[in-house]
A and B are shown apart, each in its own frame.
Chain A
């Protein structure tokens, strides 16, 4: 039977024919997802999500509220006041993505895009050394009966696998976002892209706010596409600004209201008394919750006041 005779709307008929299905028999063996041309069923997406591991932040409480860690395939925005630990978290993620698969990590590489110049190699070395120490300790505790080889990682190996870009203007930032697709196709083992910070070049003297909004949403879309296509995590670090809401000045993340819709997940780092906390402000799959964390000489770790739990990897 011809497709032209089927009781369906003209536009649907047109699409079927242009896709090459002219008779009913050609349609009968297809499943709905094939016809959907690229869209996925929710069930398939759930299975895919389970296949993509998450990047740990080295802080158990923070990992818990994040559903296990930073999600690959999504864009996560992390913002906070100066000195709260955004760069520290960025560096920790760049190191943790390299944890070998045997130890529960991704064994992948990282891209670190630095717009502010806050990437200090001394600190990366410290965090890398601490990460290896933790893994070696875990090796000692859990693997006594295994014949698994000694951990052969050296902090320099970790530093080698972080690709560092220094961006000095917003045009360079846009150019780099465009170029990332090609770069990642050539370096397929990159699983996290960290931009520290996405705000800096867009806060200086931008006269045309409409242009800024357009450029930023362009960047956000490209990064989301990048995350989805290559199955990697994109982490954008943002700054704060003040806003007059409901009769008082409050802190809010920078770049405006339209930007706040652009990222899939949003985490805000803030001070609560004497502790640093992370708050899940926006996420399609996680509930709003806060978790304490601390910044130590080893990097991001559990908050000290929660030390009563047994220390486990």
Chain B
């Protein structure tokens, strides 16, 4: 008011007018659903070809939101991402999205030989056709950022190319590695990726593509917060109670990141058997599927998931799985 030398009434009406313009438009939930069903592949889902998981996720990895894969090293996160990249590049007649993929490979784990192997074993009829392997893998663009700032710059460019290149999937493998070089260990800093989280989510939203991000685990520090103040006063639970789940691993990047992702898939190893758990998902029940990594990628040992009530669905264990052997026969550890 002082700056513009106008009265209170004018300011209020100006604010109201500006608010009405800046405010986003609304639509009914019904029109939202109809839009998705009519315009998008399977009402906005990328099928993973893992029957149990696809059923739990109402069709597959959803478009427009952030899906996180978190688990200990060597459990199969990159394998899952490779398979997804392949699935997104397949023609729609084979259940794919017929589009390009941007694969941001922070830890240099992308193996094109492994990609072709997965493709040849899972879809022999496509991959053994002359020239198809080249065409499919030609749609997957791999980029290795050297630092967080390079990644930040490139993200802006990606936003532009999302419209031009018909990109149908963005994979970031892994998010935690981008940050781990920059900050010291210990109690994790609050929101090291604050801006990036917002930006990536808005990317997903506007381009209506699935974005898959992998995350690492770290050990739970002794001072980890796990209770509210009223719980501490009333029940005096000790830290030893947390050990009953037999796990001292938590997802990296903190609770802020955990809130930001829409779907969290936990990959863990419990007594030598690997499990894929749908830990956080607005559309799925809390299910755990035992799985194995084979020549054709990840495969579920059972399509009926095990129902896990309770916070156990969030626990991450690393008990006794043999490390993934990479293509040249060396252990990845």
Check A248–B43 contact: CB distance below 8 A.
Answer: no
Contact B231 A118 (CB under 8 A): no
Closest Cβ of chain A to B31, distance in Å, is 8
A120, A270, A271, most chain B CB atoms within 10 A:
A120
Determine whether the beta carbon of B24 is less than 8 Å from that of A182: no
B229 and A252 form a contact (CB under 8 A)? yes
- Cβ contact within 8 Å between A162 and B28: yes
Contact of A167 with B24 at beta-carbon distance under 8 Å, contacts A117-B205, A121-B36, A122-B58 already known: yes
- Tell me the chain A residues, 227-261 only, with Cβ under 8 Å from chain B: 239-243, 245, 248-252
One of B130-138, B218-226, B289-297 at the interface: B218-226
| Interface membership of B9, Cβ < 8 A | no
Please report the C-alpha to C-alpha distance between residue A267 and residue B272 in the assembled complex, in whole angstroms: 40
The answer to whether A116 touches B230, judged by C-beta atoms less than 8 angstroms apart, is: no
Nearest Cβ distance between residue B281 and chain A, in whole angstroms? 8
A91 vs B282: C-alpha distance when bound (angstroms): 10
Residues in chain B near residue A58, CB distance under 8 A = none
CB pair B280–A83 under 8 Å, yes or no, is yes
Q: Flag if A240 contacts B255 (CB, 8 Å).
A: yes
Say whether, besides A203-B191, A203-B194, A241-B190, A112 and B29 are in contact (CB < 8 Å): yes
Interface size class of B (residues with CB under 8 A): 35 or more
Contact between B205 and A168 (Cβ–Cβ < 8 Å)?
yes
In the complex, B197 has a CB within 8 A of chain A:
yes
Whether A205 and B194, one on each chain, are in contact in the complex, defined by CB atoms closer than 8 angstroms, is: yes
- Which residue from chain B places its CB closest to the CB of A161 in the assembled complex? B28
Select the stretch in B86-94, B150-158, B175-183, B259-267 that faces chain A: B259-267
In the bound complex, residues from chain A placing their C-beta under 8 Å from that of B309 are 274, 294
Other-chain residue from B22, B33, B58, B223 in contact with A248 (beta carbon distance below 8 A):
B223
B282→A88 contact, CB < 8 A: yes
Contact with A along B227-270 (1 / 0, CB 8 A): 11111100000000000000000000001101111101000000
- State which residues 32-69 of B face A: CB under 8 Å: 32-33, 36, 43, 58, 62, 64-65
10 contacts between A and B (CB under 8 A): A83-B280, A83-B314, A112-B29, A162-B28, A197-B259, A204-B194, A249-B225, A251-B227, A251-B228, A296-B285
List chain A positions with a Cβ less than 8 A from chain B. Answer: 81-83, 87-88, 91, 111-112, 116-126, 156, 159-168, 171-172, 174-179, 182-183, 197, 199-201, 203-205, 239-243, 245, 248-252, 268, 270-275, 279, 281, 288, 294, 296-297
What 10 A-B pairs have minimum CB-CB distances, sorted nearest first? Answer: A274-B310, A178-B19, A249-B225, A175-B22, A159-B30, A83-B280, A242-B225, A162-B29, A204-B194, A175-B19
A-B contacts besides A122-B283, A239-B255, 19 pairs, CB < 8 Å:
A116-B259, A120-B282, A122-B43, A126-B283, A163-B27, A165-B24, A167-B24, A175-B22, A176-B19, A178-B15, A199-B259, A204-B191, A205-B194, A240-B259, A248-B225, A250-B229, A251-B228, A270-B231, A279-B230
Measuring CB to CB, which residues of chain B are less than 8 angstroms from any residue of chain A? 15-16, 18-30, 32-33, 36, 43, 58, 62, 64-65, 187, 190-191, 194-195, 197-198, 201-202, 204-205, 223-232, 255-256, 258-262, 264, 279-280, 282-283, 285, 309-314
